[in-house]
Structures are given as C-alpha cells and as structure tokens.
A and B are shown apart, each in its own frame.
Chain A
C-alpha cells in the first residue's frame, strides 16, 4: 500500500484525537513505531491492518466504522494530493466512472508499485450506478466512506446500499448508488 494512505491515516488520527493518541497507537505496534511514513514509498498492507486494529481497540470502535470514517476523511485529501484532472466533471456519477477508466490508470503511471482496486460499472437508470469492487484487500467499508466523501465533495447526496459482499461469501462487493439528481 502506498505511503500516502499511511500519511493520511496519521492525519486522520492526529486531527481527530491528537498526537498523543497517534503515538499511543504506535506504541501498540512496536514493529512499525519508528517508521516515518512518506507518500512516495510503499509499505506492507498488513501494517495498515495492524494500525487500524490498534485504533479500534484504543478508540473502542469496530473496524467497519473506523474504515468508513477514514474513507470519508481520506477522499478530499486523496483528491487534493493526487491531482488528476478529470475534465468538466461536476457530478459524482461520471466522476466515479472515471475512477477506474482515468484516475487509477494515471495513478499507476505516477507510482510504479501502486495496485489500486478494479471497478466495473452498470447503469440501471440515469440517476443510478452499480459499482462492482474487486480488490484482494477487501476494503469495501473504506469504499463506503469514500462514496460519502465524494457525495460531500460534489454536494450531491448519494443513497447507497451494498447488495453483495465478499465478507459474506459473495464473489465480489457490489454497491447500488442512487443520486439525488441525475447528471
């Protein structure tokens, strides 16, 4: 996982609970405690899991809640730090479609070792989108938070339901999104 996610996670903890809390989390993960995370580097996925579980224990929240809250926090930061121009996009629906077809392609060009998730899409209605999320990391709850972040960024409310999930034994995670307005 790219260092940018770790840096934003540190910001997430420091901004919401303070630097002492973050250092406290690091105390719970001694194998990475001395690591100064930087955006360009790549770190093991398991380190993020370790930090997340430590946070859940310390803040008394479920991993799902933690991931959702982190996703919502992370979207504007990621959007700002990885400035990939998506021309003339002013609605979340075309933006979400461009995530796979434009943004992740550009991310792979910029960062050699990046392995962003894959998405496939369906358009059941003009104001609806079905997103199929495929990733070995199985971070579908992070995905929920990111959708909320997208809705807030474009100021278009999105109602979403996850119709299937790999954690429940389904083949992949599927989200049905209904937008307050059609693009």
Chain B
C-alpha cells in the first residue's frame, strides 16, 4: 500500500496556547522571550505583535521600541515539546503513528497510510484536522503527501494545494525554496549564495557534485523528501498490535453506554485473540472526552484470558472510576500485554476443584480488580529455620512448592507478627518458665516442651539466637515462648511470646 504522511505545522504554537489560557491577551500584542548571552531574545510572537513588525530572534528591548505596549512573557525551555506531545496524543484519533517533528519542533508528522478513507477521503480528512484544531484555538497548516519530507515541505512552503496526490510529490517540491528540504543554515546560505532559489534549479545536478559542495546530509535530506530513502519517524506511542477503537457519534456519558461500548470492543478483541491463541494479561481502556481530557481504567488478569464475560466483569468493577463529564467521544481498548493462552481441555464432567480451576482464577482476577493484587497471598515453604522467614510468597497461582513443609518441629497455629516481651520466672540454665505474665495476666506453666534453639541468620542480621519453649498453662492455653540470648551473655536476655498453639 502506498504510504501517506500528514504534516501539521503549528504556525504560532506558543502564542495560540497562551491565547487559549488567557483570552484577555487577544487584544494585546505579546511575545515570549528567553535569556541568551545576557539579553532577552524573542522566541515566539503573537499575531498582533507581528503586525507591528516584531519578529522572531529580535531583542526584547528593540521590540519594545517598535511596539510600546508589548507584553513580554517568559518562555520556559521545553514547553513547545510538551505542548506538542499533548497535541500528538490527541491526534492519535486520526492515525495510530504520530510523531513530533524533530527538525523544527513546531509540528507533528502522522503516518496516515490507510486512515483517510475512514473520514471520507483525504480532503475531508485534512479539513477535519484543521477545523478541529482551529476550534481548539490552534492555527495550523497541513499537507498530505507520499513522503514525510514532502508533506513537511508543502505544509510550510507550499502555495498551491496541501493535497499532493499519490506520486505527485516530486513535482510539488520543484517550485519550493531550498528551506523546504529541512537543511541547516550554513548549507542554506551556500545555496543562496550560488543562486539556487528553487529546488528545481539543483535537483537535476549529478549527485557527486552536490555531495562535494553540500555534503552527505544534504543528499540524504533530498532523498528523504523524494522518497528514495526511507525516513524513520519515532511514534509518540508505540502502536499496540491488539487495539480496538470505538468512535461514538454522540458523546457517551452514562454507565449503560460505557458498558455497551466495552462489551462491543471486547467482542471483536476476543475474537482476534482467540484466533491467534492469545489471552489478555493487562488491558487499558482509554476514553477521550469532548473537553479534551483523557480518562483511563486498566485491568489485569492472573492468567491469560480471552473470555468476553470474564474480562467484561473486570472492567465493570472499574467503571465507577470513569468520569465522563460532558461525554466520551472515542474509546480505545489497548492490550499492552498478551500471553499464550492454555486452552483448558473440555472436561466431560465438572472441572476438578483446585488452584488451576478456571473459576478460582477468575475469582482472583475479580478480587485483584476490586481490592488490588497486593492483598492476595499464597505461601510456599522456604528452606529456612527462622520462623518469620520459613515461608515465601508464591509468584503465580500455579507455582508448586519445591520442598516439603517441615513437620518435625512444632509450629504455632497463630504467630504474632512481632514477638511481645513478657515477664518470666524460670530456672537457669535452660528450664522452661515457671510462670509468665502476658498482658497483665499471670499464667502458671503446667507442661512444657523445649528448648528448640534457632540461630539467627547471621549473614542477614545481627542479634541473639532464640530458645523456643512450647508451654501449656493451667487452663489449657498453649503458647510459644522464647528467650532471646544467653543468661550470662554480653547482651541482656529477654523473654518473648511469639505465638499460640491450637
């Protein structure tokens, strides 16, 4: 298919942006200035100021002499790029690949191959872009051509038509000035000196001559404009292979409407996913509101899934987070992460219960969607003795333990997150306590087991070992106590309660 590119040139990006923010400036000439070598140079000019003769690159003092009531505003470095990024993201509605013009940094380049017919032809397409940007407050010039270079040139220097038909870009370039080729100032000065005022006056010259006089870069820029050399443009958003778009005729602002939109997008998405044997792991629904804001909701699944009903339920939990305001005019459903889906074998009887049961996985997804992934824990045995570290969290639902759970030593049914200090009366050297006081209540120990010494993992943290005792008081409550450290050691010993046995 023939590639087509659109170039959008924002003639006065900063001035337009300022006018949108502060409409009262419409009657005041204003400029943006940035300090340069100890003086203030003008970086952007409002249309009113231009009428007075103020130009880019002038000193602010000179401009004030021409136009006494000139308003001078500070320019922030990087602001145009930031604005362009925002506009570029908005322009994704017109084409999936949108890039910032890296040469002049005052426009956008769109790869619109195969997009224009959706708006009823290229003429309507360009008209739509210009009028929508106009209604937002931006004055633009656009052009469409076979190469990004030609579109760039025509949008800025073209005088006849912005619509360059297929294969007509060479012809359109002929009558343009050399600046249209995106060249640096030294090369342009040389061209002017030699009397080349139009591209057609040097395009027919032998390449070796041109290379000798103007360098390799000049040739490459010419080739890019003519289409003999491929131009790589860097898209703002990397296009995602699994994406669904749903433009709406009327802005949508009700829950039912959003639900219908999600269901319709999921249906066609899941059909595609199913055909390729893939399943969704994360999904992002983006709504473009008519006031220019963008709203997002995202879902994640613990296992790849292409079931419409399941994914729909996950989105349903998040719909409340969407603020449609005046309405959403475009929905985009992105699937940044897909995985191979394991097609469960059709079971003739009911599926066996277990962790890999589909309904369990769906339950986990719903919980994760509503409360968050971090609330779900599953533990596997770790080959460590220190009680707090004898477990590790499982990474996935299907992960199996690599070692057996230890059963040779008693472990309490309830373990305190932090051991509580207790007061104890015990015989030395290693007798279990006679009694202990926990939370103000005295417990007389009737039966006891122990001690079980657990050494600290000295390569991780410093401290004393623990001597654990399993004790039972006169009422039958069973506790897990330990003494930290030796009785006569350098550190002070201390008794703690660490858990309760069933």
Answer yes or no: do A and B interact.
no
Residues of B within 8 A of A (CB): none
